């Protein structure tokens, strides 16, 4: 009988201890939530360098690029400390069709920074209880990535800045960034153009794939290495995926871009190579991988005719 009573007492103590533990934990979580005070539906959350709701950041960057009004809240949380960053883009009179008292004259030398902001729009950044404005003519919001760190920055066109204004940063591996394979460019002795895939040969794409003055290897999952020709022929990758990856890398600032007014040709410039996507008014849509730097004006293109690939190296 005494053993039964002792057993019941032990069970009762354990049960009470468990209940008290969960009450304390729940109170701790509630207290933590009160300290942090996050709206997970409308805020970009960076907690210990890991990002949530990154799509809201995508929307803000896209809207500001297209001169559309947009705002975003970024909650940067380290342990139980939160820094709230508020970022707003306000379009200027130049981009509004229904503004009153708008500035109708062209910019002049006596304009103040407020005049530029009113005419071209501006970004308003509130961080650490301080507010700054950046006009929409010379400034833009974009990502830049080094290693595994993504920084969201103000990029000042025409400014040689000792310190680039950083809005926030987070780990690349916690983002929506995806990479299917690595490209390795190996320079050749000749400067010719080599055919990899002709128009509509694969993927029903209306452009061909070529390399300029070099060969390309594709590395998949760190240990599977293919020549570009084999990777495409064996359907390890698609022609379109090369362009898609370049666009993804440009979005995260892993490569630089150059846009041309020949109809919309675009270069994606990496440190080791450049991907050129032609989009000329005369109908050239081809995709070319070449040496680093600007390649669109390469002299080899003078004799290059995407309609006649007989001159290319096969």
Give residue-wise pLDDT tens across range 223-252. Answer: 899 999 999 999 999 999 999 999 999 999
**193-197 and 182-187 beta bridge pairing:** unpaired
Q: Is residue 33 included in any domain, yes or no? A: no
Q: What is the pLDDT of residues 167-186, one digit of tens each?
A: 999 999 999 999 999 999 99
Residues 108 and 169 in one domain: yes
Q: Which residues contact 271 (CB under 8 A, 6 or more apart)?
A: 292
Say if residue 216's pLDDT is above 90.
yes
Residues 136 and 216 in one domain: no
- Report phi then psi at 153, rounded to 5: -130, 160
Mean pLDDT within 203-219: 91
* Paired residues of 217 in beta bridges: 184, 227
Task: Give the angle subtended at the CA of 264 by the CAs of 258 and 267, to the nearest 5°.
Answer: 30
Residue 48 and residue 170 in one domain: yes
Average pLDDT over residues 24-46: 58
> 187 and 301: one domain?
yes
Same domain, 295 and 197: yes
Average pLDDT, the chain: 84
Note the pLDDT of residue 69. 95
SS3 (DSSP) at 51: strand
Q: Which of 35, 66, 34, 72 is nearest to 54 (CA)?
A: 72
Which pLDDT score, from 0 to 100, does residue 256 have? 95
CA 271 vs. chain centroid, Å, equals: 17
Percent of the chain that is helix, strand, coil (3-state, to 5): 30, 35, 40
Domain presence at residue 24: no
Q: How much is the pLDDT for 38?
A: 44
* Residue 160, pLDDT score: 75
Q: DSSP class of residue 39? A: -
Question: Quick one: pLDDT at residue 206?
Answer: 86
Question: Binning pLDDT at 50, 70 and 90, where does residue 34 land?
Answer: very low
Mean pLDDT over 124-136 rounds to 91
- Poorest-confidence range of 21-30, 83-92, 256-265? 21-30
Calculate the alpha carbon distances from 108 to 48, 112, 115 in Å: 46, 9, 10
Q: What is residue 32's predicted lDDT score, i.e. its pLDDT?
A: 40
Give residue 33's pLDDT band: very low, low, confident or very high (50, 70, 90). Answer: very low
pLDDT number for residue 28: 47
Q: Which two tokens stand for residue 254?
A: 């892993």
In a domain, residue 207? The reply is yes
| Domain boundary, last residue among 153, 174, 195 | 174
- Number of compact structural domains in the chain: 2
As beta bridge partners, residue 153 has: 142, 166
Judgement on whether residues 72 and 123 belong to the same structural domain of the protein: yes
Give strand pairing partners of 133.
124
Is the pLDDT confidence value at 307 over 80? Answer: no
83, pLDDT greater than 70:
yes
State residue 252's pLDDT score. 98
* pLDDT band, very low/low/confident/very high, at 42 (cuts 50, 70, 90): confident
- Report the alpha-carbon distance of residue 119 to residue 115 in Å, rounded: 6
| 228 & 117 share domain | no
Does the pLDDT value for residue 6 go beyond 70? no
Which is higher by pLDDT, 221 or 35?
Answer: 221
Residue 187's DSSP bridge partners are 214
- Whole domain around residue 208: which residue ranges? 182-311
The average pLDDT across 70-92 equals 94
The pLDDT of residue 5: 59
What angle (nearest 5°) sits at the alpha carbon of residue 26, between those of residues 25 and 32?
90
Whether pLDDT at 22 is above 70:
no
pLDDT of residue 113: 84
């Amino acid at each position: 009988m005494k053993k039964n009573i002792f057993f019941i007492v032990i069970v009762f103590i354990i049960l009470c201890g468990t209940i008290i533990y969960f009450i304390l934990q729940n109170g701790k979580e509630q207290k933590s939530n009160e300290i942090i005070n996050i709206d997970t539906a409308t805020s970009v959350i960076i907690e210990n360098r890991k990002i949530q709701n990154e799509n809201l950041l995508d929307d803000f960057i896209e809207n500001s690029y297209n001169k559309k009004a947009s705002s975003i809240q970024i909650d940067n949380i380290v342990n139980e400390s939160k820094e709230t960053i508020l970022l707003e883009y306000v379009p200027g009179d130049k981009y509004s069709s229904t503004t009153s008292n708008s500035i109708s004259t062209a910019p002049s030398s006596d304009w103040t920074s407020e005049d530029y902001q009113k005419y071209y729009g501006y970004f308003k950044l509130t961080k650490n209880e301080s507010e700054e404005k950046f006009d929409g003519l010379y400034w833009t919001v974009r990502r830049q990535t080094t290693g595994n760190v993504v920084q969201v920055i103000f990029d000042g066109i025409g400014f040689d800045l000792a310190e680039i204004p950083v809005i926030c940063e987070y780990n690349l591996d916690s983002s929506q960034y995806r990479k299917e394979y690595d490209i390795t460019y190996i320079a050749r002795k000749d400067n010719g153009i080599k055919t990899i895939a002709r128009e509509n040969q694969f993927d029903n794409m209306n452009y061909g794939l070529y390399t300029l003055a070099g060969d390309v290897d594709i590395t998949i999952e760190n240990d599977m290495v293919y020549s570009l020709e084999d990777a495409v022929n064996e359907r390890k990758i698609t022609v379109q995926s090369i362009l898609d990856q370049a666009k993804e890398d440009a979005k995260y600032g892993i490569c630089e871009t150059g846009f041309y007014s020949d109809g919309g040709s675009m270069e994606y410039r990496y440190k080791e190579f450049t991907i050129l996507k032609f989009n000329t008014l005369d109908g050239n849509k081809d995709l070319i991988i070449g040496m680093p730097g600007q390649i669109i004006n390469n002299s080899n293109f003078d004799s290059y005719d995407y309609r006649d690939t007989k001159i290319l190296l096969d």
